[in-house]
Structure 1
Amino acid sequence: MPTPVLAVLASGFGWHISDLLRAAEKVGVALEICPFPEVSARVGGDRPRVTAGAIDLEGLNGLLVRMMPPGSLEQVVFRMDAIHRVAAAGVPVWNPPRAIEAAVDKYLALALLASRGLAVPETWAGQGADEALRTFEELGSDVVVKPLFGSEGRGILRVSDRELAWRTFHAIERLGSVIYLQRVIRHPGHDLRVFVLQGRVLAAMRRFATGGEWRTNASLGGRTEAATLDPAVKSLALAAAEAVGTEVAGVDLVEDLDRGELVVLEVNAVPGWKAISGTTGVDVAARILAGLRDQGR
């Protein structure tokens, strides 16, 4: 039987790519690394294919989308069009393009979660600074401002001062960006990252903010510990991943002490696993590649 060939669409060669190459040998697959800027496509003629350099993406056993790098609107739309076409050719794509489109957009992802009846933070998104300032006051004058597209806690700002809120909202408005506000959640000082793979919880960890940092992201220095989840928490994480349509997901949950329940903060469709693998001992990269390999057989 020929060796299955998988590819990773990536934006660089960092720790996660190195870990995937290590895991590829372990699970017996050939792994091609394809930078997003090399993606091109032909329509009509005798070679209508989507390629990345010399790699025929439509001839693979599976394609893993590791990261969607920044780009112009045209570039991002074209990349997603190409991924849709690869999936339409019958190649398993993780995550599916619709899931990537939903999860990368914090507003859309949160709306999908809420439509399933899942608890989410009270959130407002809009384009006008004046309305944002009124909403800031309605939300208790203590909000988290997030970029609509973003990950790993980058670009997030907590604002509890009206003057700073005014300046922040008008700056975002001038940039032509969306203003995205969430009421600050009073929590016990930690949250949960649950790694979901193909409808099952693969691993989970608690993340604690340290050194005066209010964000818990491990990439920002947060302390982590392995977590054992009760059935209700597992069900919540799985329902969140399913709502966004993911095969692979990092689901972030936090206890809202005022509401007395867990809320879903985010579903990440291109989740990192360096911290959760190191914390739990689970070989996440190997499990991802093995699952993608088996689906493509």
Structure 2
Amino acid sequence: MSKRTIGMWLYTNSGGDKIAKKIIKKLKDRDIDTLDNINLRHAIAKNANILHNDVKLNKLDLFFSYNAGEQTQYQMYLYQALNRVIPMINSYESFALTEDKFHTSFVLRNEGILTADYKLCHRDDGHQLKKIIKKWDKMVYKPTDGWGGVGLTKIESEANLDMLLPFLNQMDLRYFYVEKFIKYDNTDFRVDIVDGEFVSCYGRKASDTDWRTNITSGGSVFLREANDEIIEIAKKACKVCGVDIGGVDIIYDLEKEAYVVLEVNGIPAFATPDQEKMGLNFNDKKIDLIVDLIDRKTKK
């Protein structure tokens, strides 16, 4: 078997640099070389090749992109092109799907996975939003491509909607995406899945001044076990979305008395050093499963 070489771009903050070193070492033990810190933002495409520091990335055996915080439109454009000729983790198709909240919910619902009730309408159909707020009582406006809770806006009345619409119109959006606000206990489950295998589960809790559980919105992490139903929902959600690696956010709907998938994240973070100290000890298992996945995907 010829020597295998992969490219990798993994976030370096919050302990990501140490995670990358562990992955590289374990791959080396399997005779797989790694070109690290391959940020497609600094690559160029020339004729049949995509070049990064004169390395032909399209000749690699696989590219592993795992950095949500530094994505650019250019980087994602080359991500798509590169995936046309070599394997990726995650594939561009699954990455693009999970980056879009509407498309994710649409696909999940068609496969029988419960999500929040939603509505997508054209920017000129604001009257549809007024009809839906009367029906739902409360709803959440979500940018379809946002992450970390950024841009989420809770709408609790028609008056709130009237105040929000002019602002949204100024942003020149092509469409509005809203979800019915779910009555829940202000906590969620984050379930990590790698290659169809359960890795871990932990909880996140909203702060006293916010309803969002996202850490960037003031939420906090706590230890939490997942039951068999939650694990199966997460596995199915990842399979439906086609992700090799996924973090599935699940809440319990107190009115429907059922678990609801809020989001499938294609780049779920590893536990930070502080989170490891509090007992989140899934990093090694996740690393091993990722190395196994890379090994399998790069075998000739």
Q: TM-score, normalised by structure 1?
A: 0.85
Distance 1:33 1:16 in 2: 15
Output one character per residue of 1:218-263: Cα deviation in whole Å (capped at 9) or x when no partner: 3333232233222222111111111111000010111001001001
Distance 2:210 2:293 in 1: 37
Distance 1:194 1:169 in 2: 34
Matched, 1:146 2:142: yes
Output one character per residue of 1:110-162: Cα deviation in whole Å (capped at 9) or x when no partner: 1000010111101112223332232222221x111111101111111112132
Distance 2:162 2:185 in 1: 29
Q: TM-score, normalised by structure 2?
A: 0.84
Gaps of 5+ in 2: 29-33
Task: State, as a whole percentage, how many aligned pairs show the same letter.
Answer: 18
- 2:51 is matched with which residue? 51
Distance 1:92 1:114 in 2: 28
Matched, 1:135 2:132: yes
Gaps of 5+ in 1: none
Question: How far apart are 1:81 and its partner, in Å?
Answer: 3.2
Question: How far apart are 1:2 and its partner, in Å?
Answer: 8.1
TM-aligned CA distance change 1:165 to 1:213, over 3 Å: same
- Number of aligned residue pairs: give it: 285
Distance 1:280 1:146 in 2: 29
After superposition, residues 241-252 of structure 1 pair within 5 angstroms as: 241-252=238-249
Q: Paired residue for 2:234, among 233, 237, 240?
A: 237
TM-aligned CA distance change 1:16 to 1:60, over 3 Å: farther
Output one character per residue of 1:160-206: Cα deviation in whole Å (capped at 9) or x when no partner: 13222112123213322232111111112311000010001111111
- 2:31 is matched with which residue? none
Contact 2:270 2:283 in 1 (8 A): no
After superposition, residues 132-281 of structure 1 pair within 5 angstroms as: 132-140=129-137, 142-177=138-173, 178-274=175-271, 278=276, 279-281=279-281
Output one character per residue of 1:79-104: Cα deviation in whole Å (capped at 9) or x when no partner: 3432332xxx3x33110111011111
Contact 1:133 1:169 in 2 (8 A): no
After superposition, residues 26-45 of structure 1 pair within 5 angstroms as: 26-29=25-28, 30-43=34-47
Matched, 1:78 2:74: no
Matched, 1:62 2:62: yes
TM-aligned CA distance change 1:198 to 1:70, over 3 Å: closer
Distance 2:254 2:221 in 1: 21
Distance 1:115 1:239 in 2: 12
Distance 1:198 1:289 in 2: 8
Distance 1:219 1:24 in 2: 26
Contact 1:169 1:179 in 2 (8 A): no
TM-aligned CA distance change 1:212 to 1:77, over 3 Å: closer
Output one character per residue of 1:26-64: Cα deviation in whole Å (capped at 9) or x when no partner: 414434112232232233xxxx22233333222323211
Q: Paired residue for 1:103, among 87, 90, 98?
A: 98
Matched, 1:22 2:21: yes
Report the RMSD for the aligned CA atoms in angstroms.
2.6
Matched, 1:296 2:298: yes
Distance 2:192 2:55 in 1: 30
- 2:287 is matched with which residue? 286
Distance 1:139 1:55 in 2: 54
| Secondary structure of the corresponding residue to residue 83 of structure 2 | helix
**AA aligned opposite 2:291:** A
TM-aligned CA distance change 1:205 to 1:152, over 3 Å: same
Distance 1:239 1:256 in 2: 19
Between 260-269 and 230-239, the greater mean CA deviation after superposition: 230-239
